[in-house]
A and B are shown apart, each in its own frame.
Chain A
Amino acid sequence: MKKLTNLLLLLTVLVACKKTPDIPSVNYTMGGGVYIMDEGNFMGGNGSLSFYSYDSLKMYNDIFTKANGRPLGDIPYSMIIKDDNAYIVVNNSGKIEVADQATLQSKATINGLISPRNMMVINDSKAYVTSLYSDSVAIISLSNKSISGYINIRRTSEAIVLVGNKAYI
């Protein structure tokens, strides 16, 4: 009986092991370059991010997936860089992916947005995100990497620009 128990315990250990994928960290932005966003097919979940390096004249495709082992999402629509962070607005996944701007390794995901389109950094601690299907602009806390509130503008929104201390939506 003891042998059987030991065997069962051994089997439990064997089936419990799961190899964590070893994802190398690659600095894409050394030497400068440009990010290229591919929306993919609507509802297909196959949007991607590429980087064209001016230094090596090479194109690096699907770098978010390669850096994190998961897809970027459905319709990555816009992207901004703030300090060391890349904020990628993924429209039909209702989220913003926050990643290291050089390696694209994920730092956080801001979920719960309704059809987000464009993001504008207002100051060091705050950003606004427009929405295609809601009547509010979301306020993002850059320090917490989360939604801190909403501004009801009574209609849907698309582009946003900052001139002086005024945001035009």
Chain B
Amino acid sequence: MKNTLLYIPLFFTLPLLGNKPVINDTIRIKEVVIRTRNVDTPVSGYKKTTIDTAILSFNRNKNLSDLLLENTGIFVKSYGMGGTATPSFRGTGASHTIIDWNGISINSPMPGQSDLSLIPAGLIDEIQIYYGGASMQLNSGGIGGAINLETKPIFKRETIISANSLSGSFGRYSGLIKVKSGNTNLQTVTKAFFQKAENNFRYLNDKISFEPIWQTRNNSQVQQKGFMQEVYFHRESYTASARVWYETSDRNLPASILTLQSNSNEKQFDESLRTMVNYDISVPQGNFTVTAAWLMSRLNYSNQLADIDSRNLSESLMLKASYDDRIGDYSKLKVVLDRQSDLIKSNNYDHNTTRSTTTLTVSVNRKKEHVCTFFLLREIIIKNKIQIPDFSAGVQIGLINDKDYFLGANISKNSKIPAMNDLYWSPGGNSNLKNEHSLSTEISYSMKEKIADIIEIKYDLSAYHNVITDMILWHPGEFSYWTADNLKTVKATGLESTLSANYSLDNFHSGFKLAYSFTKSVGGRSGISDDASVGKQLIYIPENQANYLLTLGYRRLYSTWVACFVGKRYTTSDNSEYLTGYVVNNLTAGIKIPIKKSSADISFSIDNVLNAEYQSIAYYPLPGRSYNIKISIQFVKQK
């Protein structure tokens, strides 16, 4: 019996960390060429992490919000599956996180943020996460950080067709099909997805009445579908690409459990069309890249009871040109010119509204021996008005020769232009708003070590301090509606730490990852009289958050255990009310079956194994224990 108990953890495991093959067969493959734009240049002294293909592949049926919550220290505030989900990076708000698609911001210009529930993980090939000042390498405005969603080709003479389906509790179904085909010069990638959920789970409502009542969540159905088409062409010196991403989301919005459930009839329809063309060319003097993108986003919200019929359409045209070149033996210069023009048509604005911004960024990255330095200067021009320049400087020092032990530090002054809703929403928008500014400092330590070629250990620790001034807040105004103003100073201080290890021997693989983040994000002085939020933690930002991931695999079998802890979150700005912390455990077990060069993968997972009762947003319950079965098939045909 004792021995049996010892084997139980082995059942819940998988080789997810790293790209460890499950099958121990050695297959020699032909050389392939992976080409992508130069968004991903590593820069010293900043924190940047990557969610790689292995984790994305394993989570391809999830959306970006679940993926980030389970695998990073980023807190995601979510209304539940399919419901609006927004990120909070290093103690900042949702609009302080920039979401990019291949280096182009896809944040809606209206609220200035992205709904992570509308981004399926299955469409993305790699996710790069830029923390704090590191985000300035990508775009402006990411006071908290930035997330870049990469879709990139592998130039290989083969055709891969993969199909993935999931069926689960609470009427959940999803499907994803990918077709990749081409040769060493031309590649086409087609991805299509569908997702549907009833979300009709049971929960105990102990807030509505004298005696707790079991209720079933209603008006919570969600349906999403879309596709992405990519075409890539490359020769020796250049690569050209075109991408289209279309999707729709139709969802009913459940009400707070404090209201009569049958009264709820809120609905939201989202539609987005994103197109992008890109041309990279290497010339003797350096690399030149041009990207043009046109993005359309539609959001219609209706609430019959409240007599609201909100219709919103935004279109953005973006042009981005960059040039990089070596200066001497140790330095690299990069110049980026970025132009974005937005058009908003909304029945919540007084009239159609436009805005154009131009950004010029110059950066120098220098590496000599064990010291790397980086400096960036950025100028933003809005409606022909020059803003106060932003800058960032970082340094990284290698502590031991030929070993991966590093100390890093950076200081950044970043700014975020007001969202269009803050400026023009009627009523309450304030066209006189100033930019929000942040001054952040960060020190970090990181190491990576291999022991006896079978164990790899990674550790990193970062401490940061960020002061945000002129933060925009909506507050009760002089009249009967709320209005936006630059009111607040916020000081965010925190620690982030990640420890991971991989072990691989013969047919057995294991790995674990433990991430912890401490975030103290405190409201400072504000323009509100008798402001009770001064000195208090910002709402919906947990001080403590941790993730745990254990993976084990033996031959074709694999399993994972993911645990996610989110600490206490205040729900009122004077910190008088709060949501208690929670731990959610997810378990998965599966088997991979190779069939010649193709393969099948069948897995079973239990989410929220311990049936924890929890809420991400006050009075919006999240599901208890649920079950999913997933089947994936992949056909490979080499030409």
Contact = CB atoms under 8 A, between A and B. Distances in A.
The answer to whether A and B assemble together is yes
A111 interface: yes
Interface stretch (B142-150, B205-213, B346-354, B461-469): B205-213
A44 B210 contact: no
Nearest to B258: A45
A45 B577 CA distance: 14
A95 B262 CA distance: 13
A111 B263 contact: no
A143 to B, nearest CB: 16
Given A95-B208, A111-B209, A44 B260 contact: no
B619 interface: yes
Given A1-B2, A42-B306, A109 B259 contact: no
B306 A43 contact: yes
Nearest to A46: B258
A107 interface: yes
B44 to A, nearest CB: 46
Interface in A53-106: 70-71, 73-74, 92-95, 97-98, 106
A114 B261 CA distance: 11
Contacts of A107: 210
Contacts of A118: none
A92 B263 contact: yes
B263 A109 contact: no
Contact of B263 (A70, A98, A115): A115
A4 interface: yes
A107 B256 CA distance: 23
Nearest to B1: A1
B5 interface: yes
Contacts of B210: 97-98, 106-109
Contacts of A106: 210
B124 interface: no
A109 B255 contact: no
A73 B132 CA distance: 39
Interface residues of B, number: 22
Contact of B208 (A4, A43, A73): A73
Interface residues of A, number: 23
Contacts of B255: 43
Contacts of A109: 208-211
Contacts of B1: 1
B539 to A, nearest CB: 13
Given A107-B210, A111-B213, A73 B5 contact: no
Contact of A93 (B206, B259, B303, B306): B259
Interface string B256-279: 111110110010000000000000
Contacts of B213: 111
Contacts of B211: 109
A132 to B, nearest CB: 10
B260 A92 contact: yes
B263 A73 contact: no
A45 B256 contact: yes
Nearest to B259: A74
A4 B1 CA distance: 11
Contact of B258 (A71, A108, A114): A71
A72 to B, nearest CB: 8
B260 A94 contact: yes
Contacts of A114: 260
A42 B259 CA distance: 10
A93 B306 CA distance: 14
A10 B2 CA distance: 18
Contacts of B206: 70
A19 to B, nearest CB: 11
Contacts of B262: 94
A71 B306 CA distance: 22
A143 B255 CA distance: 32
Nearest to A145: B210
B260 A43 contact: no
A45 to B, nearest CB: 3
A43 B207 contact: no
A94 B5 CA distance: 51
A139 to B, nearest CB: 19
Interface string B1-41: 11001000000000000000000000000000000000000
A70 B207 contact: yes
A101 to B, nearest CB: 16
B209 A43 contact: no
A93 B256 CA distance: 10
Interface string A20-50: 0000000000000000000000111100000
- Name which of A1, A70, A97, A114 has the most chain B CB atoms within 10 A of its CB: A70
A74 B442 CA distance: 44
B308 to A, nearest CB: 10
Nearest to A92: B259
B286 to A, nearest CB: 55
A94 B266 CA distance: 17
The winner among B207, B213, B257 for most chain A CB atoms within 10 A is: B207
Interface centre among B206, B263, B266 (most CB of A within 10 A): B263
A39 B390 CA distance: 45
Nearest to B210: A109
Interface in B240-267: 255-260, 262-263, 266
B620 to A, nearest CB: 10
A108 B255 CA distance: 23
B208 A93 contact: yes
Contacts of B258: 45, 71, 73-74, 93
Contacts of A73: 208, 258-259
Contact of A95 (B2, B5, B209, B256): B209
A93 B260 contact: yes
Nearest to B264: A43
A167 to B, nearest CB: 25
B310 to A, nearest CB: 14
Interface in B135-189: none
A76 to B, nearest CB: 11
10 contacts: A1-B2, A44-B256, A71-B207, A73-B259, A94-B263, A109-B208, A109-B210, A109-B211, A111-B213, A114-B260
Given A42-B306, A97-B209, 13 more contacts: A1-B2, A43-B266, A44-B256, A45-B258, A71-B207, A92-B263, A93-B208, A93-B260, A94-B260, A94-B262, A107-B210, A108-B210, A111-B213
List the 9 closest pairs (A to B, CB-CB), nearest first: A45-B258, A109-B209, A94-B260, A45-B256, A109-B210, A74-B259, A70-B207, A106-B210, A74-B258
